[in-house]
Structure 1
């Protein structure tokens, strides 16, 4: 090791040591310290470049520092960033109009993080159940799906079956009923007169990019309509172009009653989330019954509005579809050669590593050494969700580097 190498390694070690000492250990990051990013690539403090194939869990659908969004954010930073909803601002109305139009809904309620948007959807669903459906006070029930990931607030982990997320955090919030993901008969059996909504992910991202059985979303839509239950789609990761359509529900031609959106809505620059629904649902929200100091602030609204405008072109959805097909072809060739299975929807893939070779964590560390950033989940599964701006050559690079990892482990 040269003296320069030693100095660079010391810089990384210092940053990691500071983080480990002073930041709570609620994550287990890979041993890399990032300092710069552009497009699909990031650079660490030692000057090494990596192809980002996680994209902030789909928050970076448009890549790192997308010029159009950065420019719009800079313009707004020079004008007005925060007023609170105690006053109107000139950015929220146009953003809300644009997002309502994109979703085909009549109203939106802006928040900040994905978890806040899910909490908002839960509250609004219960209010609709009491005010519109006539459920007895305190009896509203929401059906959820096993294997879900909707966030980590106390209420949200109340219906999680992830022991790491729930251990030592009880008592939990009542009012939820869990059924197997993709099991329409189980969902139907869970629907009684107290059920006001069913909350689901069109693709379970944290679960390992788990796809629903064909026809499940259509069947769930029909069931919700028949039983007068709100269909609430958590499209925080799957929405806004990731799966090759604007929303993952579009793959089955399904329109939920409530869209839950986040991550890419902030363009990778700022936390922006929202729910979208018609007036018969969101019109029940009254002043003081829900709110957020930062939700709908001018900076967030300006960025979100620009994101919607970019999605309106269809360019990013088409890129996700086309490049996702290329990624699927490459990954499928590795099944039986170190992969047990792959699941792909758009530019989003879950690859199950043969557990006899290595864990998903070990695979992610090996990819890191080869200049590719990815993240494991649930043992031996590795998720790939690169920015939608990735090139064909970069997709091939990802597949080539994974091939090298698997071949070297065999």
Structure 2
């Protein structure tokens, strides 16, 4: 039966939902917009044919931005606060650490204002997350943190700080555009290579003081996960997930309205193939991903993880045309995905390494649950337009949504077969992989690997 493919290629369900999400406006974790987006997603899943569509609420640390500034000499440079930065100001000697690799922090930074890039060099063997750079700066004694975009275009990047145990960070943190960062580096830190870091990929000098000021408010708030089911009621289930929230400065089209639109499109397609499903498929669209994977962490703590066959997490699925997936060392996951690619003679890229920075991760780490992080290939490092004001709908294409939905629908059907066996891993095996790949130390620094 192939009628469902034609229906998916002509469907408007996912794309219409994406348009509805970006038109909500601010979908910041714990806010009214996030709640509205969750309700829209609940209703869209129900309209697609899923049952028991509902919201599951949980408490989060709310955060609202005010005005922020960098004062350098007699100038004021544009910046934006990073979510969960503390409110306050700090003055210190300005130090540009270039890429902000772990070894760049091995120096006296007491009382300094530290600037790092949002990327890492091509030769480096792993991505160093913003929060790791922030807490390395905190540990080294920095009084403030400046996060410089590596993408040109006068776009300041956002992204949260904070840890699971201390959701508000330790020192003021702001994002600046590549151009503002270049100006600060030129004024205070000498010549650079023009690509986001010094000529050698790092910076070793300093000269002059700057002040970083952040105004913000933090109050208790409520977030929510969206749940719905399709297929038979069984003891085992496949989770198909995304996150509804987005940063408050943009539409959040790529990150991650697109992922939630994909989940809605999958629900629409799977409803047409429900007779083929042999285990339950649970859709979960999380809240508060952007502030420390709060929604998925909340769900993973309460779920019987032994009952979860696999997680298919959609986050970044429309940034490029070719889907890609982290498979976290689960060879059986890679085999199933390879079978889908071969069946449709359509490329799907895979990465067997650990990818600990989206909503699949609490399930992998806590229970060794086999999980895909499904994104897409862009040919570039980093988030591109993501986490900036430029994350808007006009940069995405509906054909990519429909093509991806065909592939992922088939993937979910295969995962939901009773005879599909996906070998699990122990927590010890996952941690050992994190150690081998260089992730473990950074995750411990950010409080994400106790």
Using structure 1 for the length normalisation, give the TM-score: 0.28
- Structure whose residues are more often strand by fraction: 2
Using structure 2 for the length normalisation, give the TM-score: 0.26
